[in-house]
Structure 1
Amino acid sequence: MRKRLSKDERRQQLLDLSLVILERDGADVLTLATLAQEAGVTKPVAYSHFQSRANLLYQLYARFDQRLVDVTRQRVAGQARSLQERVHHVVALYFDCVRQCGPQYEAIVSALMAYPEYKDIRTDIRNSFVRVYRELFSDCDTDGCLSYRLVAIFGAIEEVAKATMENQVPYDQAVGTLERLIISALQEA
């Protein structure tokens, strides 16, 4: 007899399975009914964990972002002392995340944008990363304009990462160029 999953274990199982469905069939196919069927549970079980398709998508998005934020904070706190080291970790970890889950992440965010309550999700993502970067680079705020520079930095990281994912820019060149650009922007004050 199989052990019954705890509520948290079931939730994690459903999130993991959601990513499998998303990768295999695309975001349009990912519904709570499809998820329940694939997981071998009833629809009420899926609905009790996520309430709506929009909330499921949001939970997937939040999971990706939180993992990246947690790893970045951990790596910078544990290994990065100089500005150059902190910048390197921020860029390298972001690019690693994009390479590992970029298409899934983009599909989730695009699907979320179809819901009125998430129409500003890209702005929310930017603001979230700017808050994290503000923590990591607070010592660079010598003129009170760090947040503005971090908005530009996030935009540069995001767009260059996309171009790299689309094979328009070689990875090593992208990382090196971004690191120099970010260091320059942070030291500009």
Structure 2
Amino acid sequence: MSRRLSRVQRRHQLLDTALTIVREEGADRLTLGRLAARAGISKPVAYDHFGTRSTLLIELYKSLDQAQAAALKEALTTGERGIEETITALASAYIHCYADTTGEWHAIGAALAGSEEKETVYQELLDGYVRLFAAVLKPHVDLQQAELERRCIGLIGAGEALSAVMVRGNCGEAEAAETFASLIRGGLRNSFSCRSDEEA
């Protein structure tokens, strides 16, 4: 007899199943009814967990992003690096996060286009990336926190655009990462601290 899943375990199972549907069939095919059928549960159970398709998409979007953010943080907070190593690691780790999702994050984002909920969640996620980028770069630059964060917002926008081009197959991961590193370097060039200038 199989063990009954707790509510948290069931939610994880449903999100994993939802991601499989997106990978195999596309985001447009992800509905609560389809999710229930693939997960082998009744529709009321799926509705009890998510309520609406939009909520399901938002939760899946956040789940993917949290995994990416955790991988990015792990890659960037281990060991001491000079400015060049930091920029290379930052660009490579950020682009790799997108390469790792093989387009699901973009597909789910597109399915949520125009949703007010998505805009709110996206802003929260963007704020988290800005704080992470700023924390990693802060030791190497002579910039006020507010100015550094504004530059990070611009850089993250460029990184997201490059990742979208990569996911569509118009360039490789290494090319996207190298271009992103060049943009980070250029965006911060005149603000490197004395020690980082010597390293660069």
Instruction: Identify the TM-score tier after normalising by the shorter chain.
Output: 0.7 to 0.9
Of 158, 161, 174, which residue of structure 2 is paired with 1:159? Answer: 161
1:146 paired residue number: 148
Q: Over residues 46-75 of structure 1, what are the superposed CA-to-partner deviations in whole Å (9 max), with x where a residue is unaligned?
A: 122222211111111111111111112122
- Give the aligned residue type for 2:97: C
Change (3 A) 1:105 1:75: same
RMSD after superposition: 2.2
- Give the aligned residue type for 1:157: G
> What is the deviation of 1:119?
4.4
CA distance in 2 between counterparts of 1:110 and 1:80 reads 37
1:134 paired residue number: 134
Q: Point out which structure has higher relative CO (alpha carbons under 8 A, 6+ apart).
A: 2
1:100 paired residue number: 100
Query: In the alignment, does 2:180 pair up with 1:178?
Result: yes
> What is the deviation of 1:184?
3.2
> What is the deviation of 1:146?
0.7
- Are 1:130 and 1:150, in contact at CA under 8 Å, matched by a contact in 2? yes
Indicate the SS of the match to 2:101: helix
- Which structure 1 residue ranges, 5 or more long, are not aligned? none
- Give the aligned residue type for 1:169: C
CA distance in 1 between counterparts of 2:178 and 2:31 reads 40
CA distance in 2 between counterparts of 1:83 and 1:58 reads 36
Query: In the alignment, does 2:3 pair up with 1:3?
Result: yes
- Give the aligned residue type for 2:11: R
- Are 1:112 and 1:119, in contact at CA under 8 Å, matched by a contact in 2? no
- Are 1:86 and 1:136, in contact at CA under 8 Å, matched by a contact in 2? yes
More displaced 10-residue stretch of structure 1: 129-138 or 59-68: 129-138
Among the aligned pairs, what percent are the same residue? 30
TM-score, normalised relative to structure 1: 0.86
- Give the aligned residue type for 1:149: R
More displaced 10-residue stretch of structure 1: 21-30 or 82-91: 82-91
May I ask how many residue pairs the two structures share in their alignment?
Answer: 189
- Which structure 2 residue ranges, 5 or more long, are not aligned? 192-200
1:22 paired residue number: 22
After superposing on structure 2, the runs of 4+ consecutive aligned residues of structure 1 that deviate more than 4 Å are 119-125
Indicate the SS of the match to 2:103: helix
CA distance in 2 between counterparts of 1:188 and 1:63 reads 37
- Are 2:87 and 2:185, in contact at CA under 8 Å, matched by a contact in 1? yes
- Give the aligned residue type for 1:26: G
More displaced 10-residue stretch of structure 1: 20-29 or 10-19: 20-29
1:64 paired residue number: 64
1:73 paired residue number: 73
Indicate the SS of the match to 1:21: helix
- Give the aligned residue type for 1:104: E
More displaced 10-residue stretch of structure 1: 113-122 or 44-53: 113-122
